[in-house]
Amino acid sequence: MKTLIYAHRGASKDYPENTMIAFKKALEMGAEGIELDVQLSKDNVPVVIHDEQLKRTTNGSGFVKDMSLKELKELDAGSWFNSTFNKEKIPTLEEVLVWIKDTKLELNIELKNNIIDYEKIEKIVYELVKKYGMETEVIFSSFNHCSLKRLLEIDEHINVAPLQSARMITPWKYAKGMGATSMHIRFTSLSQKTIEGFHKEELKVRTYTVNRSFLMRQFFKWNIDAIMTDMPNKALEVRDNK
């Protein structure tokens, strides 16, 4: 079984996270999937940015939720990383969907609603993904497991993956019980036995965020379904030249 490599926030070690260039470079590098983070603008447009606030990854300040899409689009989402990326904008989720549908990339949409529980984010994001016919292809994840349950109430056929950072005794039972098809577990909370537990239940398990070679090698050996990494190029080298 081949472990897939998902670019965490795109190829975010070398390019500004959650921007179109980071996603396009991940594809060029050979990543098989993309992980990205979604918040809602003031006018309820899903936008791709990790933090609730703008200051770390843009030249703006304040909360994403307090700005319209038009205002968000005026911001520079690349210069914080390197001035050569000063043309990068905060992408809308729709822009990513339009681009990704013509690639073979898998897509993991993380709803960033564990700090701000955006009203109706599930319906808004689901309808947008459905507009592109990708609702049963993408993986919806969140640390807000109630939100994933709300998504499953909208459509029981979609793939949801609860995010989990702490160790659990039998996480595969939890995932199965809530109707998830996989779970995304922080690398420090995973063992080979846990991965086997998921596979026995015919569930998938993926891990984040794996950037060190020896950990990549370990998870490839343990046959995890996918790793999320800021360095898809490095992970591909480790996986394919082992």
109-168: which residues touch ligand G3P (CB under 6 A)?
110, 141, 163
Smaller CB separation from ligand G3P, 37 or 88 = 37
Nearest-angstrom CA–CA distance, 207 and 229: 9
Is 157 a known active-site residue?
A: no
The tokens describing 10, both together, are: 């795109």
Nearest-angstrom CA–CA distance, 224 and 42: 38
Q: By CB under 5 A, name the one of 110, 122, 135, 230 that touches Ca ion.
A: 110
Site string for ligand G3P, 27-56 (x = CB under 6 A): --------x-x------------x------
Q: Is 180 helix (H, G, I), strand (E, B) or coil?
A: coil
SS3 of the chain: helix, strand, coil, percent, to 5: 35, 20, 45
Is 184 a known active-site residue?
A: no
Q: By CB under 6 A, name the one of 64, 128, 129, 228 that touches ligand G3P.
A: 228
Residue 150 phi/psi, 5-degree rounding, is: -65, -40
The tokens describing 206, both together, are: 């993926």
Q: How far from chain centre, in Å, is Cα 44?
A: 20
Q: By CB under 6 A, name the one of 3, 5, 7, 8 that touches ligand G3P.
A: 8
Residues that bind ligand G3P in the complex, under the rule CB under 6 A: 8, 35, 37, 50, 110, 141, 163, 184, 208-209, 228
Q: Which residues are catalytic?
A: 8, 50
Residues that bind Ca ion (CB under 5 A): 37, 110
